[in-house]
Amino acid sequence: YGDEPETVAQAETSRTMEVSCPQFLAGFKCRPAGEGEDYMRLAVIGDIACDILLGDSSPLYLRLYDQGLINASFGGSFEMMPGIAYLYAGGDSKDARTVAAEIQKEADRLVREGIDEAFYQQVTRAAFGSNLRGLNSFENIAVSLTEGYFHGYDPFRFPEVFDSITKEDVTAFLRDNIRAERMVLSEIVPPQA
């Protein structure tokens, strides 16, 4: 796959299309994980960090929603592929630049002030529960076993991995990855009338 540089190729892009409301995606280029348990550990840390930063019960989500900057279409995720990792957020917004700036500000605030302990516990319990519920799905087990095989880890060790993750790990993820120089913003805007 080659080595992916840490810098972004293009910080902003915009395209005019026939949409009723402007849409955007803001992405943050993250450091990729190694193989083995490091891969699984980064996946869990990235998911928890994403939920703390962007989840629909996060302070940022509630603030942006109350201000009318986002609607229910807003969401985000952390993804990994061979040699790359990224966290993204997007949806409908008439002011994507402000939303992207607020995501960055909230990550900075969480790093500076720390993550609220009760909220951290709520998010990690929900993430653990989601993994546990996944054991009821044959499809989910098959996907987890296949991914674990190709990345060199045992997906059934997720309880130990969860136990090894601290609030400081999540804070370090936000500090190292959710930075202005790692962000790209892509917008789709409707034609001007």
Identify the pLDDT of residue 193.
Answer: 58
pLDDT digits (tens, 9 = 90+) for 6-32: 889 899 999 999 998 999 999 999 998
Q: Please, which residues have CB within 8 angstroms of residue 193's CB and are 6 or more apart in sequence?
A: none
Report field, pTM of the whole predicted structure over 0.85: yes
Residue 5: which pLDDT band, with cuts at 50, 70 and 90? confident
Q: Which amino acid is at 177?
A: N
Q: Please, which residues have CB within 8 angstroms of residue 188's CB and are 6 or more apart in sequence?
A: 14, 15, 16, 17, 19, 22, 23, 24
More confident residue, 20 or 171: 171
Give the DSSP letter of residue 152.
T
pLDDT digits (tens, 9 = 90+) for 78-116: 999 888 999 999 999 999 999 999 999 999 999 999 999
pLDDT digits (tens, 9 = 90+) for 134-162: 999 999 999 999 999 999 999 999 999 99
Alpha helix stretches (DSSP H) within 11-166: 37-54, 59-66, 96-113, 117-133, 138-151, 158-164
